[in-house]
Structure 1
Amino acid sequence: MKNILTEIVAHKRIEVAALKQQRSVEVLEQAAWFKRPTLSMAQFLQDPAKTGIIAEFKRRSPSKGVINGTATVQDVTTAYARCGASALSVLTDEKFFGGTSEDLQQARTLNHIPVLRKDFIVDEYQIIEAKAIGADVILLIAECLTKQEVAHLAQFAHNLGLEVLLEVHSGDQLEKVTDHIQSVGVNNRDLTTFNVDFNRSCELAPQIPAGKCKVAESGISNTDAIITLKQAGFQGFLIGENFMKQDSPARAFEQFVTELANKSVQ
């Protein structure tokens, strides 16, 4: 199978070069949201009054095609926030995931919890853009960045007041964690094949450096998985497809949270 991540990153570099020609850094820095104080996703994830769930708005993916072509950012993200999501994740990649910067801006306008920009960050420009469109957190993917690139981009984000979620897929990638990274996410989905191995999170959890918020990503489809992951030391749980594939992602999330709450008090 072709390496999907390599294809996405190659396209992203071309896309970013074009964006730089369309809108300068100076213009981005004039955006109203560029000056706003950001919210800490790490703090929200560890708030016992919330679920620890980073609920994602995602229209499609390279592996599944269209997941939900009718749900709106307004209906879905406001329901997520209302029902106890600790943070929102919004896809802004258009070519492969059907997302837009406007989706994130709308989520930011409507909600008062941290918003993660879910994209393939390879350039400082995208981090400035993330701040300008209202993001609180950016995603860095260890699989497609060198240790030096991760360190540089994480510090650049930190200097802008943004938090960083570093996504890893194997133990050796944990050497890329730096002081400027607040959360470490273990992606159960292999980004080169898009196959899912749920046990990956539990295997890597003990290896994540102390003091970092632990986030499990992908393949979480039931409340028992959350309970197991909490026991393994995870505080955050990024879930998107499980809700987005339903006719009503908002209702699916509400039911999931209710079931989780009932199990947590047993």
Structure 2
Amino acid sequence: MDILQKIVLQKTREIALKKSLLPADQFEKSPLFGKAGKSLSSALKNSKSGIIAEFKRRSPSLPKINQHSPVDQVASAYERAGACGMSVLTNTHFFGGTLEDLLLARAATSFPVLRKEFIIDEYQILEARAHGADVILLIAAILKPEQVRDFTRLAVDLGMEVLLEVHDEEELDRAFIPGIQMVGVNNRNLKTFEVNLETSKRIAPRIPAEVVRISESGISRTDAIKELREHGFRGFLIGEHFMSTQEPGGRAAEFIKSLES
């Protein structure tokens, strides 16, 4: 069993437990549930940097990235640095994130916030909206085409955008449907955790022109972003490069200033 399969198995168990305690209709009582979402795709189209800054404490490949920086302070610093939006890991078992991280990031900022999670059930989408998410991540590798379709429709109905994550051409061709605003190419193989930026460049021509292209994982140089822009990418999700310091917001500010100069 590879790491992706382990994550999905653990997530399946967690969702079953949550459903036994908190019915999905309870999420509609959240004051955030009916609020209009903020558009990450529009922010990226109008941005000079295209940076989506991520909050991540750890990962299966890096057990200690940053265990100390408070999420609300990091979120505020990312926004001041000029990031277009923020990605918040909410997976606890493998990444050390929580839904409270998402809630605090939303409370501390006004830019779009993405819930980065292994979504396999509509319950998680309702949960995301109730905790202030503007965007959800759908990972093609763990979803059937009909799930992508149904989850996208639900997200849009709730006022959220969808970022579809793919790792190769087959996933893109199988999972993409009209209505998805953004496609993210993950340069990290979720089965081996190896990173190769050439993955983004190779898949870019297959992504519809009207869809915002986002490159994810392994980006730590401004030169890499300039290269990726030549392939039509408008968004760049960066986590470890920022979070592996004592001041993630400070590093993000330096990076964005260098990128825009």
| TM-score w.r.t. length of structure 1 | 0.96
Residue 149 of structure 1: aligned partner: 147
User: Which residue of structure 1 lines up, in the alignment, with residue 230 of structure 2?
Assistant: 231
Q: Secondary structure at the match of 1:32?
A: coil
Residue 193 (structure 1) aligns with: 192
The residue that corresponds to 1:59 in the other structure is 57
> What do residues 23-80 of structure 1 show as CA deviations (whole Å, max 9, x unaligned)?
11221110000010001110011113x5211100000000111100111112211111
Secondary structure of 2:87's partner?
strand
Aligned equivalents of 2:257 and 2:135: distance in 1? 27
Q: Which residue of 1 aligns with 2:133?
A: 135
How do residues 5-84 of structure 1 correspond to structure 2 at under 5 angstroms?
5-48=4-47, 50-84=48-82
SS in 2 for 1:95: helix
1:191 aligned counterpart, secondary structure: coil
Q: Which amino acid aligns with 1:39?
A: K
Contact 2:81 2:250 in 1 (8 A): no
Q: Does 1:242 align with 2:257?
A: no
Would you say 1:104 and 2:91 are equivalent positions?
no
How far apart, in 1, do the equivalents of 2:86 and 2:149 lie? 24
- 1:228 deviates by 0.8
For 1:206 and 1:246, the matched residues in 2 are separated by: 35
For 2:163, the aligned partner's letter is L
Q: Distance in 1 between matches of 2:107 and 2:247?
A: 22
Q: Secondary structure at the match of 1:61?
A: coil
Supply the distance in 1 between the matched residues of 2:22 and 2:46 (Cα, whole angstroms): 38
Runs of 4+ with >3 A deviation: none
Partner secondary structure for residue 9 of structure 1: helix
Correspondence 1:174-189 to 2 at 5 A: 174-175=172-173, 176-189=175-188
Q: CA deviation at 1:210?
A: 2.2
Shift, 1:197, TM fit: 0.9
Any gaps of 5 or more consecutive residues in structure 2? none
C-alpha distance in 1 between matches for 2:110 and 2:147: 31
The aligned amino acid for 2:221 is N
Q: CA RMSD in A?
A: 0.9
- Matched residue, 1:122: 120
Q: What is the number of equivalent residue pairs in this alignment? A: 260
Aligned 1:209-220 pairs, distance under 5 A: 209-220=208-219
Instruction: Report the Cα distance in structure 1 between the residues aligned to 2:132 and 2:106, rounded to whole angstroms.
Output: 6
Structure-1 separation of matches of 2:183 and 2:234: 10
Deviations 1:205-248 (A, max 9, x none): 11112211100000001111111111110000000001001121
What is the deviation of 1:183? 0.2
2:209 & 2:45 partners in 1: Cα distance?
Answer: 14
Identity of aligned residues (%): 48
Helix, strand or coil: the match of 2:86?
A: strand
By how many angstroms is 1:180 displaced? 2.3
Q: d(CA) in 2 for partners of 1:152 and 1:69?
A: 36
Say which SS state the counterpart of residue 33 (structure 1) adopts. coil
Q: TM-score, normalised by structure 2?
A: 0.97
Corresponding letter in the other structure for 2:41: A
